[in-house]
Chain A
Amino acid sequence: MLFHDTQFILFFVAVFLIYWAIHHLRTPRVLFLLAASYLFYMGWNAKYALLIGFQTISDYYIAYWLHRLENQRARKALVAASVIINLSILSLFKYFGFFAETVQEIGRWFGWEVIPARLNVLLPVGISFYTFQCLSYTFDVYYRKIQPARNLAEFALAIAFFPQLVAGPIVRGAQFLPQLESTPRFNLEQFRSGLQLFFIGLIKKVVIADTLAEMIVDPAFKSPALASGPHLLLAIYAYAFQIFCDFAAYSDMAMGTARMLGYELPLNFNLPYRAQDLREFWRRWHISLSTFLRDYLYIPLGGNRGNLFKTCRNLMITMLLGGLWHGAAWTFVLWGFYHGLLLVLQHLWDAWRGTQPAAPDPDENDQAWCSSWGALLRVGITFHLVCLGWLFFRAQSFADISLILSRILSWAPGTAEVFIRERGLWFMLLAALMHFMPRHWVRSASGWIARRSPEFQGAMAALLIGLMGIFATSNHPFIYFQF
């Protein structure tokens, strides 16, 4: 079930009506949402729901004992058990094939014929997300940042809550569990804003991301040898907007869906291409993952508390693992390495200049990115550096990366088979406009819609769905489902 499927809409309408009918009863409410979430997941694969169930139960009881025990060694052993269980499952399903192929490849270099064992299993959708959620809960209980969940059902709901189950954001226990404490009240304003957010996500996904994929990105990356240099260059820029619109769309829809049910999920994207440097980019891009990596990997490794070398090492390890989290392929590791390298260089530059790295607050000034020519230049440079990273992220192999780069640099002509469809350019422009327009425009548009009558809003929703049907190319799954 995809968020932009009719099936999901009908599923959600049913869940919404039943949920608000029983919302005042705590246990039935939680159990109902839990059942709906598992049903949602089982729509993809029923067997893998057992996997989530297993990870949930194991982490619930580990956290339960972590909270009760005082013995530090025993507590450390329990955390280690949680890490081993969760990462073993993740490695088995996501990385086993990758490790096996790597071993085979290394063997081939030495002239050995290694035939590794193969696991013919599907990658469970959302495994990276819910595994990290389980881990963050255990860590938070270990560090005594939060109280453990009141019961298994509530914890299971926090992990499997269907809006964020398959593609994030990575919601921490501290962000979700307290929301279960109070009885939600239906709030019309909240509902309207949730619905609006859902529609914004739908437009980003169906109209922009899928069209960019179909018109510009996929043809170029599928046959880079046939695409022209300019097309490949444009495809990288288009991919930057495609992946943003695709992933941000999922987050918007997840937030909108949850908001309509009375829950708030954390913001996952904050207009990342307005960032003036790489550090700010990672404060705006996939915020739930970057904060997870910062809090549970970078800081425990020592963060920036040690000398310059240790800080750079920690940065690099964090980004390499962040890259690997995205996918089981060396291209993702390269992408992580590239970002790690850029962050290290930025850190070294700051150290050389003797400036303390400021922590830019993305919300501080909406128009900071275009407040001066210098700021605009920094935004431009950061955007291009990020785009180069997207090439490593999107390309199928190292050979493709070098082919694409060489074709772009030589401005190679393409064949008639692969060409840019002009409509894609208009949608790229639309994506850029949506990204860089002032926030208050969005706020006033949304306020204007909210002030209209329900009939007007209903008709607008119908028209939007109709328009999406026209512009929809084909039913692409969300990119981040593969992670």
Chain B
Amino acid sequence: MIVLRDVIQQFGGRIVLEIPELHFKSGRRYGLIGENGSGKTTLIRMLAGTSKPTSGRIEGLEGKIVGYLPQSPYAFSFSVLQNAALALDGHKDAKELTKKALHAVGMESLVDARGDRLSGGEAQRMALARVLVRSYDVLLLDEPTSSTDVRSMDLIENTLREYVQKTQCTLIFSTHSPAQAFRLADEVLYLEKGRLVEQGSAETLFHSPQDERTIAFLKHWSLNS
């Protein structure tokens, strides 16, 4: 289990995230929702270790293999296949595993294309394949489908479901779409202005939210979008 205790993140004196206590149970899927600036990316970056909290502790990640897809992943100027195989350097089945991961995100026809010449959506799918080529204890995805079209989104969501089932990893992802959180997550966390407002099972949070702020946020969204 991953536990955050009294975690505060400040940038330039401004508190961007403040979480007194939060638990992520092993093997479950968590969806973070909230508007821009709510602290989703900050929370994911802290869990990934690319940003250190100003104060507080994050426990339970010691010795764990953590995979992380940032919001703006870098597309290297070599081929899609080489890009996606980066995490498997030296692995004897690297090519086969990479092709499989690219196929899972619908990128099999672009294996020879240059990574830095892909469209935004294609680059995002390539980056996701690059992460999914290997297995992790914890997988962190920061808006993994923000640039993808609806058809690709279905494919990616199915791929993620299969991946989590196969690897039994803990999945923590952020999304702008509450509907996606509802489809993918076991538990959904609503953040606002750097604070965790409400947390619960996807079903409970969407059908009977308790906090007024959650109700106000969700009323703008349809679960079909």
Q: Do A and B associate with each other? A: no
Contact surface of B with A, Cβ cutoff 8 Å: none
